Structure 1
Amino acid sequence: MIKCEVSVCGTINKEAIIRTNKDGKSFMSFAMNIVLPTTSGSKVLDVSVLCDCEKNNDVSKFCVGTRLNASGTLLFKKRGENLYLNLYAEGFEFENVAAIDSIKGSMLFRGKLGKTIEEKTDKKGNKYHTFSGVSSEKVSDGFEYIWISFFDFSQVLDDAIKPETKVEIAGTLDLSFFKEKLTISSRIKSVSPYVPVANTSNQE
């Protein structure tokens, strides 16, 4: 499981429409473009936005080309080589929107660590740890996996956290492009062992 509480600053590139789910509840959907820097320039990231019509039902505010800040819960979905970003928005701001696009917020991760935890030293002589973790989702024909790069600058790791064990990590959400590919990383604030409980969710 990867669940993020975020603020997204960008431009609407697909106009808002009202839809109705199978339970008869109305919701609004639209899409945003977020331009992020890359090693060779910049690249556009698409974010699909959904929100409850009880709080937001004036589609005239959500026109193509409008800049806004949207806040809410961001979830990732991977299908094959494609990684989708879905924002379940709780609030919007149309005034005093920054000129530079961004996605900022926090991450809650539950999953399995990679095979190694490395200790490194920065230019000032401070030690830190770096490691990877993977979240899996059961789909009809197998599993999909999303990898996260973690950085422990606060030395919160202890001896109970071992490679290839299941953990719960709270930290920042940091998105960037490396060689034109979106990467997800996090500076961790806390980490603890995680014991899954039986439920109906397909995600771990």
Structure 2
Amino acid sequence: MRRLVTALLIGLTVATTVSFGAVLGETFMLYPNIFHDPPRSLVLAREFMVEGSPSDFFPPLGFLIILTGTVTVLSTWRSKAIRWYVLGAALAYLCFELLFSMVWFWPRNEIMFVDPVGTHSAEFLRATAREFVAGHWARVAGGALTAGLLFTALIRWLCSPGRSPGRSSDSAGVTAVERDRRTAAAREQAP
């Protein structure tokens, strides 16, 4: 079970860190180009993102994170040392990446990138773009929180006394290897 939890924590930490990094990449590389002069820059963004866009990358990654996160929460629930870190990360991801996206970003994406060009006034598109960018910082914070909590859980898990053979611990948290070392040292000092 320890190997499974370790693999889940590593995989989920990597996936959420990639997601957070991709959001940062959007923030500093794509968004300045997309939102600098709406509605003209929105039209250029539509023309540019024909073969691939964030909507091709984030939904599959998000599904993988939610699926792996659910299994990880269930697998780590009995570990008091990391339970709340993993659950907190899962809730942060669900709130900031899924629910907030559904409520805040999806309607604005529809307006800016799906509705036919000319459907909305230039001022309405500028206001929508400002709202999108303002809300985006909540998503950046949520991604940082999620990745940070999972990284903390992973480190705590890896540094906790193992439960596998040769690494079992007694009630004081001393590993079998450490206990054997202490016993040998005590024998050497005995008269």
TM-score greater than 0.5 by the shorter chain: no
Higher helix share: 2
TM-score tier by shorter-chain length is under 0.3
What is the TM-score when the length of structure 2 is the normalising length? 0.21
Larger radius of gyration: 2
